[in-house]
Amino acid sequence: MPGGPAAGFTAARQLLVVSGLLFAVSAGLAAFGSMWTVYPALAGTVTIIASGQREGARRRPGTSTASRITA
């Protein structure tokens, strides 16, 4: 057995973590009720992130936040 008992332990731990994540996701979906409530929430999060990136791109190069506040 390559790696000895430690390798088997890490594999078992990874399996436990993955199954725990799957359980948490399924429990979360059950709590939301249905995908109809999950998808709009995901879309809203993506929209917020995208608008924040656009806001960052709109800033003129060479102007810091401090200089815009004092101007």
Q: Give me the residue spans of the domains in the chain.
A: 1-33, 34-71
The predicted model scores a pTM of 0.33
Give me the tens of pLDDT residue by residue for the chain, a chain 71 residues long: 455 666 677 877 888 888 888 887 777 766 666 556 666 767 777 776 666 665 555 555 555 555 555 55
For the record, the structure tokens of 32 come out as 């939301």
Q: b/e for 11-42, b at 16 or more Cβ within 10 A?
A: eeeeeeeeeeeeeeeeeeeeeeeeeeeeeeee
